[in-house]
A and B are shown apart, each in its own frame.
Chain A
Amino acid sequence: MSHLEAALAARAFRSGRACRSAQLRHRRFVARPLAIVLYELGAEPFSAAAISYGTAPENFHQLAAGEPRNRDLAFAMLLRFARWFNSQFERPGTTREVLQDGDREVTRAVSAPQIVVVNRASVEMLGRLGRRLAYLPTDGPRPADPELVRLGQHLQFLARHASQPGQQLVISLTDLVNAHWVTPQSDFERASLGAVDAYIDPPASPAWDWQRERLGLPVSTAWRARRARAQGFETAALAERFPIGPVPDGDDDEVLEPLVDAFNAARDRRTTPRVIEGLVAPIHDHYRPLLQRTWEMLWHVFERERAWPESPSVARRWDEDRDAYTRHLDWTSTGGRNRTRQTPRQSAMTMRRLEDAKARLRAEEACDDSLRMIPYLLANKAIEGRVVRIDLDHKEVARVRAVRRPLLTLLSVDPCPMPRNRQLWWTGHPRGPAWVVQDVTSRADGSAVVTLQLSTSSSGAPMPAVGDHACFSMHNTEGHWSQKLPDAVPWTHRPATPPPALGPIEEQAS
C-alpha cells in the first residue's frame, strides 16, 4: 500500500464514494466477451449446479443440472455448456496471421476470446471444472464426449493463464475494479463485487432494486430520495447481503433442498434427457433470479468500466495473450495434455515469467498513466518537473575518446533524495536508453534541480523539449531474456514425493 492509496481511502471515507486510482482502463475489453456466471451446490466444488452465459446483457442463457452430485446429470449440463463455449472459444483461432520468428514462420490468431466473470472464485471454479473434465477417457466403458474434454482443457488453460499479471483473456471484474478504484474497505470486503461497486456509484447499485423487491416495497418518492442520497458504506453493507456466487448462500440452498429431494424422488435414478427436462423446471426457476442478479451486476460493472479509455500498453499484452491462446489451441489440437503439477524446471520458468510479467505490467501502467506513477514519485523512485535546459553537445570521456552524452536539467518542485548514477527512463520513451542521475541540487524552498545524462550518444534518441513537463522513473518497459537453467534439476529442487498421477478424478460409477 502506498500513501496515495491511504490518502484516497481517507478521501473516499469522507465523501462516501470510491476514488479512481487510474485515468485509463489498463485491460482490454473486447466487443463481445463470453460472460459466465456460476453456482455451486453446497460444498461440491468440482460440480456446477447452474450456469448462465452469453455475449451481451440481453443474450442471457441458463442451465441447471438438477442434481449436480450425480455425474451423468452434472456432465449432461456441462456438455450443453461445452457446445456453446467451445465454438465461441475456438472461433477466433481459425483466422491466423503469419509472423517471422527468426528463420521460422509461425501463425498467430488475429483475435482471441475474452471470458468475463464476477470474481476470482469463479475463475478458480472454472479451473476445477477444467481439472475434472480435461483427463476424462473418451473410450472404454464410460466414454466422455470429446467436447467435454476440450471444454476441460480450455478451462484449465484459462484458469492457469489468469494468474499471469496483466493478461486479458480472463477478466475477473472484482480484481479489475479493485485495481482501478480505492475504497476505505478491507480486502475481505473488496472481494465482494457488489460491495466494491456500491462504493463507486452508490445510488446506481443494483442492490437497491434487489432490496426493494425482496421487501416488496413500491418505487415511492421517499425510496427514490433515500437512494439518491445513498453513501458507499451503507450501500456496500446492503449489497453484501446478495450473494453473487459461485459459493451459494446457506439460506438459498435451504430453499433449494426440498426441490432437489422432490426432483430425485421423481426421476427415480433415471438420468435420460427426456425425464430430466420434464422435472428440472423448479430447480431451474430457483436459480433464475440468483443468476440474473449476478448477470445484472456483471454487465453493470463491465459497461461502466468499458467507458474508460483504454491504456496504450494493452495492445502489447493482447499480442501476448493471442500468442498464448494460439499455442494452447495448437497444443490441444495435437491431443496434448497438461500436467496438474509442474516439474521443477517448469515451475522455475513459470515463476520467472510471472515475475517479469508483473514488473513489466507495473512499468507499463506507470508510464501510460500518470496517476499510476504517483506511488513511485512518493517512494523517490521517479522524479517529475519542468525541463529547463538541454545540452545536446555535452561530451564525456568514455575510455579513450570523448563521446556525446547529452545533459538534461529538470526543475522539480519536490525534493529529490536520489543517489547519483541511478538509472532512470523517460516515461515518454520507456523502452529507450537510460538516463543517469548526474547531480541533484536541493534548494531552500524544497525544490530540486536535477541533472540527467543520456547513456547513449545516438542522436536519434527521443527526449522531451525545453519547457516540457517530464517524468523520469525507474521503469523501463523492455522485456527480459529468459534465464538459463541447469540441465539437471539440482537436488534442492527435486520433489520429496513424486507428483500425483495424471488422470480423471471420478471415484464411483454412480
Chain B
Amino acid sequence: MAHTLAPLAAGAPTRSPTIRVLAAFASNADCNLASLGFAAGVDFDRLLKGTSYEAPFGQSPFAFSRGLNFERSLREGGYGSVFALLRESMGFEIADARVVSLREGYPPNRHGMIMRSRRTRALLDGMLREEVSAPNLIDGAVLATSVGGVRAYFEADALAARGRGPIHIGEVKSFPVVDDRGDPEKVGQALDQAAMYIHLVRNVASELGHDPTLISADAMLITPHNTGMRPTLSVKNVQPRVHRARVLLASVPSVADIAAFAPHGLSFGAIADQRPAGSHGKQELDPRADRRIDALHGLADGVGTTYRPLCLSTCGLARFCRERAFAGGSPNIAGAQMVRMLPGIHSLGRAADLAAGAPAAPTEAPAAAQLVRAARLYDTHTAAGGR
C-alpha cells in the first residue's frame, strides 16, 4: 500500500485491500492503532497467531467454497443469470449485456491495482456519459480513495451495473434469502459494503465532473434463493449507510502523524508470528509470544487505542485491547450503556468504591448518589432474603 508505511509492515502478515476490509475498518476508524495497521496493510486477524489473544476469525472452508461456487455460478454464461435478474427487477433490456471483467489480465500487485483503478475510472466515465460502447456491468472494479492522508486502492467484490437509469451497485453474497429475508447481521454487513462502494464510485463521478447522484443509493443484493443456489435480487436503499461511510472515512486522522508516535524502530513485523509455516500445531503457542505482546504494548502505548466491545467482532487485536481496557477498569468493557450510566466516573473500580461509600468528587456526585442507593438497597434486600 503506501510506500512510506512499508517499513512498518515489514515481516507482518498483510492482506489484499478490498472494500470488504475497508467497510470492516470503517467502524474502528477512530482507533489510531487500527488506522495505522490498516494504512500499512497489516492483517490484524493473523498478526497475533500463536498468542493467547489470537483472533477467532477463521473461516469455515465449507462457507468459503459455498461463496466461491455461488460467485462462479453467476459468472457462467456471460453473467447470464445476473442479466436475467437485472431484466426482471431493474428494467434492463436484452441488448444491455456488455460486461467488462477486470479480474483477469492484471498483475496481482499494487501496480496492477493502479492500472485497474484507471481502467475502472475510464469505464465509469463512459457509463456516466451513456456512451454506446460503455459496459452495462463491471466486475472486479478497483477504486482509489484516501484513508488518513494515504492513497489506497480497493478491490470491489460487488458489481456496478447500468441499464436505462442510474448506476446500481450489486453486492454478491452466498447466504440464503428465504421468505424475502436473510440473516439480519449478514445483510447488514453486505449493505455496509455496498454503501462503501457507492461512496467510492460517487467520489470518482464527482472527480470526473458528473453528478454523483447518478449512482443510485439503492443497493442490489444478489443472494441464493431458498436452500439451492438459484440467485435472487433484492433492492434496499442504503443512503444513511453511504453517509456514514463518508463521515467515518473523513474522520480518520492523518496516518503520518500517528506513525510519528510509534516507538522508533518498532514495526508490526516484531509483533508477527515468525515461526515457519508447518513447524507447529494449529493451537500451539509461540514461545516468543510474550516478547511479541510486549512489542505490541509499546506500539499501543505510543499511538493510542480506542477499545469498545464492537471491536471484538471486527478487529483482530480486540482481545489484546480488551485486556488493556480491563486492566484500567474502563467502563467501556461493559458497553456504551455502562459508560452513560457512569458520567464523570473513569473506571469500574472507582464506581465500586463510590457505591461502597467513598467520598465523591463534584463531577462524580450525581452518578455516585444513585450507585450508593442502589448498593444499599441491594445489600438490604439480599440480607433480608426476599420480601
Give chain A's interface residues, CB within 8 Å of chain B: 1-11, 13-14, 19, 23-24, 41-47, 71, 128, 131-132, 184-189, 214, 233, 237, 240-241, 248-251, 253-254, 256-257, 260, 340-341, 369-371, 374, 377-378, 414, 427-428, 471, 500, 505-508
A250-B381 contact given A6-B351, A9-B338, A505-B178, CB 8 Å threshold? no
A507-B227 contact given A3-B374, A10-B355, A11-B375, CB 8 Å threshold? yes
For window 26-85 of B, CB contacts with A under 8 Å fall at 52, 56-67
Query: By the criterion CB–CB under 8 Å, are A500 and B334 in contact?
Result: no
Task: Please report the C-alpha to C-alpha distance between residue A471 and residue B387 in the assembled complex, in whole angstroms.
Answer: 9
Question: Can you list 5 A-B contacts with CB-CB less than 8 angstroms, sorted by A residue number?
Answer: A6-B341, A186-B333, A371-B378, A506-B227, A507-B228
Residue B361 lies at the interface, judged by CB distance under 8 Å to chain A: no
A23-B175 contact given A6-B351, A253-B61, CB 8 Å threshold? no
Residue B280 lies at the interface, judged by CB distance under 8 Å to chain A: no
Q: A23-B381, A184-B338, A507-B225 are in contact. List 9 more A-B contacts (CB 8 A).
A: A3-B374, A14-B348, A19-B378, A44-B66, A188-B313, A189-B309, A371-B381, A378-B373, A508-B229
Residue B385 lies at the interface, judged by CB distance under 8 Å to chain A: yes
Contact residues in B for A71 (Cβ distance below 8 Å):
227
Produce 1/0 per residue, B355-374, CB < 8 A to A.
10000000000010011011
Give chain B's interface residues, CB within 8 Å of chain A: 52, 56-67, 174-176, 178-180, 183, 225-230, 282-283, 309-310, 312-313, 319, 322-323, 326, 329, 333-335, 337-338, 340-342, 348-349, 351-352, 355, 367, 370-371, 373-375, 377-378, 381-382, 384-387
| Complex A-B, nearest 8 residue pairs according to Cβ-Cβ distance, in ascending order | A507-B228, A42-B62, A250-B58, A186-B309, A43-B63, A253-B60, A10-B351, A505-B226
Query: By the criterion CB–CB under 8 Å, are B179 and A43 in contact?
Result: no
Contact residues in A for B342 (Cβ distance below 8 Å):
6
A41-B351 contact given A3-B341, A185-B334, CB 8 Å threshold? no
Give A258's nearest chain B residue, CB to CB. Answer: B61
Contact of B230 among A186, A249, A507 (CB under 8 A): A507
Residue in A44, A214, A249, A260 whose Cβ sees the most chain B Cβ within 10 Å: A44
Give A241's nearest chain B residue, CB to CB. Answer: B56
Query: By the criterion CB–CB under 8 Å, are B62 and A257 in contact?
Result: yes
A43-B319 contact given A3-B374, A6-B374, A214-B283, CB 8 Å threshold? no
Within the complex, the shortest CB–CB distance from A3 to chain B, in Å, comes to: 4
Query: By the criterion CB–CB under 8 Å, are B352 and A14 in contact?
Result: yes
Task: Please report the C-alpha to C-alpha distance between residue A189 and residue B227 in the assembled complex, in whole angstroms.
Answer: 31
Query: By the criterion CB–CB under 8 Å, are A7 and B227 in contact?
Result: no
Contact residues in B for A506 (Cβ distance below 8 Å):
226-228
Query: By the criterion CB–CB under 8 Å, are B312 and A8 in contact?
Result: no
Contact residues in B for A23 (Cβ distance below 8 Å):
381-382, 385-386
Give B355's nearest chain A residue, CB to CB. Answer: A7
Query: By the criterion CB–CB under 8 Å, are A254 and B312 in contact?
Result: no
Within the complex, the shortest CB–CB distance from A500 to chain B, in Å, comes to: 5
Task: Please report the C-alpha to C-alpha distance between residue A419 and residue B225 in the assembled complex, in whole angstroms.
Answer: 57
Residue in A47, A250, A471 whose Cβ sees the most chain B Cβ within 10 Å: A250
Task: Please report the C-alpha to C-alpha distance between residue A327 and residue B230 in the assembled complex, in whole angstroms.
Answer: 37
Task: Please report the C-alpha to C-alpha distance between residue A47 and residue B337 in the assembled complex, in whole angstroms.
Answer: 36
Within the complex, the shortest CB–CB distance from A295 to chain B, in Å, comes to: 21
Contact residues in A for B176 (Cβ distance below 8 Å):
45-46
Contact residues in A for B175 (Cβ distance below 8 Å):
43, 45
Contact residues in B for A5 (Cβ distance below 8 Å):
341
Query: By the criterion CB–CB under 8 Å, are A186 and B335 in contact?
Result: yes
Query: By the criterion CB–CB under 8 Å, are B377 and A374 in contact?
Result: yes
Residue in A2, A6, A377, A507 whose Cβ sees the most chain B Cβ within 10 Å: A6
Task: Please report the C-alpha to C-alpha distance between residue A128 and residue B228 in the assembled complex, in whole angstroms.
Answer: 15
A9-B355 contact given A1-B341, A43-B63, A249-B58, CB 8 Å threshold? no
Contact residues in A for B373 (Cβ distance below 8 Å):
3, 378, 414
Task: Please report the C-alpha to C-alpha distance between residue A44 and residue B229 in the assembled complex, in whole angstroms.
Answer: 12
A6-B61 contact given A13-B349, A13-B352, A43-B175, CB 8 Å threshold? no
Within the complex, the shortest CB–CB distance from A376 to chain B, in Å, comes to: 11
Within the complex, the shortest CB–CB distance from A346 to chain B, in Å, comes to: 15
Within the complex, the shortest CB–CB distance from A90 to chain B, in Å, comes to: 27
Query: By the criterion CB–CB under 8 Å, are B337 and A370 in contact?
Result: no
Query: By the criterion CB–CB under 8 Å, are A237 and B319 in contact?
Result: yes
Task: Please report the C-alpha to C-alpha distance between residue A183 and residue B18 in the assembled complex, in whole angstroms.
Answer: 37
Give A369's nearest chain B residue, CB to CB. Answer: B386
Task: Please report the C-alpha to C-alpha distance between residue A42 and residue B174 in the assembled complex, in whole angstroms.
Answer: 12
Contact residues in A for B62 (Cβ distance below 8 Å):
41-44, 253, 256-257, 260
A254-B60 contact given A131-B179, A188-B312, CB 8 Å threshold? yes
Within the complex, the shortest CB–CB distance from A221 to chain B, in Å, comes to: 22
Query: By the criterion CB–CB under 8 Å, are B377 and A4 in contact?
Result: yes
Within the complex, the shortest CB–CB distance from A121 to chain B, in Å, comes to: 10
Task: Please report the C-alpha to C-alpha distance between residue A369 and residue B378 in the assembled complex, in whole angstroms.
Answer: 12
Task: Please report the C-alpha to C-alpha distance between residue A153 and residue B382 in the assembled complex, in whole angstroms.
Answer: 44
Contact residues in A for B385 (Cβ distance below 8 Å):
23
Contact residues in B for A188 (Cβ distance below 8 Å):
309-310, 312-313
Task: Please report the C-alpha to C-alpha distance between residue A64 and residue B265 in the assembled complex, in whole angstroms.
Answer: 53
Query: By the criterion CB–CB under 8 Å, are B384 and A6 in contact?
Result: no
Contact of A184 among B64, B180, B334 (CB under 8 A): B334
Query: By the criterion CB–CB under 8 Å, are A250 and B352 in contact?
Result: no
Task: Please report the C-alpha to C-alpha distance between residue A253 and residue B63 in the assembled complex, in whole angstroms.
Answer: 9
Give B180's nearest chain A residue, CB to CB. Answer: A500
Give A42's nearest chain B residue, CB to CB. Answer: B62
Give B318's nearest chain A residue, CB to CB. Answer: A188
Task: Please report the C-alpha to C-alpha distance between residue A4 and residue B377 in the assembled complex, in whole angstroms.
Answer: 9
Query: By the criterion CB–CB under 8 Å, are A370 and B386 in contact?
Result: yes
Query: By the criterion CB–CB under 8 Å, are A43 and B374 in contact?
Result: no
Query: By the criterion CB–CB under 8 Å, are B63 and A42 in contact?
Result: yes
Query: By the criterion CB–CB under 8 Å, are A43 and B386 in contact?
Result: no
Contact residues in A for B229 (Cβ distance below 8 Å):
507-508
Task: Please report the C-alpha to C-alpha distance between residue A237 and residue B322 in the assembled complex, in whole angstroms.
Answer: 10
Within the complex, the shortest CB–CB distance from A119 to chain B, in Å, comes to: 14
Give A5's nearest chain B residue, CB to CB. Answer: B341
Within the complex, the shortest CB–CB distance from A155 to chain B, in Å, comes to: 15
Residue in B333, B342, B377 whose Cβ sees the most chain A Cβ within 10 Å: B377
Contact residues in B for A260 (Cβ distance below 8 Å):
62
Contact residues in B for A237 (Cβ distance below 8 Å):
52, 319, 322-323
Give B173's nearest chain A residue, CB to CB. Answer: A43
Query: By the criterion CB–CB under 8 Å, are A43 and B309 in contact?
Result: no
Task: Please report the C-alpha to C-alpha distance between residue A471 and residue B312 in the assembled complex, in whole angstroms.
Answer: 42
Within the complex, the shortest CB–CB distance from A502 to chain B, in Å, comes to: 9
Within the complex, the shortest CB–CB distance from A319 to chain B, in Å, comes to: 23
Task: Please report the C-alpha to C-alpha distance between residue A286 and residue B65 in the assembled complex, in whole angstroms.
Answer: 20
Task: Please report the C-alpha to C-alpha distance between residue A7 and residue B334 in the assembled complex, in whole angstroms.
Answer: 12
Contact residues in A for B57 (Cβ distance below 8 Å):
250
Within the complex, the shortest CB–CB distance from B190 to chain A, in Å, comes to: 13
Query: By the criterion CB–CB under 8 Å, are B386 and A254 in contact?
Result: no
Contact residues in B for A369 (Cβ distance below 8 Å):
386
Task: Please report the C-alpha to C-alpha distance between residue A341 and residue B180 in the assembled complex, in whole angstroms.
Answer: 10
Give A379's nearest chain B residue, CB to CB. Answer: B370
Within the complex, the shortest CB–CB distance from B312 to chain A, in Å, comes to: 5
Within the complex, the shortest CB–CB distance from B2 to chain A, in Å, comes to: 30
Contact residues in B for A11 (Cβ distance below 8 Å):
352, 355, 375
Contact residues in A for B313 (Cβ distance below 8 Å):
188
Query: By the criterion CB–CB under 8 Å, are B56 and A240 in contact?
Result: yes
Contact residues in A for B174 (Cβ distance below 8 Å):
43
Task: Please report the C-alpha to C-alpha distance between residue A428 and residue B387 in the assembled complex, in whole angstroms.
Answer: 9
Contact residues in B for A471 (Cβ distance below 8 Å):
387
Contact of A45 among B183, B329, B340, B351 (CB under 8 A): B183
Within the complex, the shortest CB–CB distance from A504 to chain B, in Å, comes to: 8
Task: Please report the C-alpha to C-alpha distance between residue A505 and residue B176 in the assembled complex, in whole angstroms.
Answer: 11
Task: Please report the C-alpha to C-alpha distance between residue A506 and residue B376 in the assembled complex, in whole angstroms.
Answer: 59
Task: Please report the C-alpha to C-alpha distance between residue A505 and residue B182 in the assembled complex, in whole angstroms.
Answer: 14
Give A414's nearest chain B residue, CB to CB. Answer: B373
Within the complex, the shortest CB–CB distance from B99 to chain A, in Å, comes to: 26
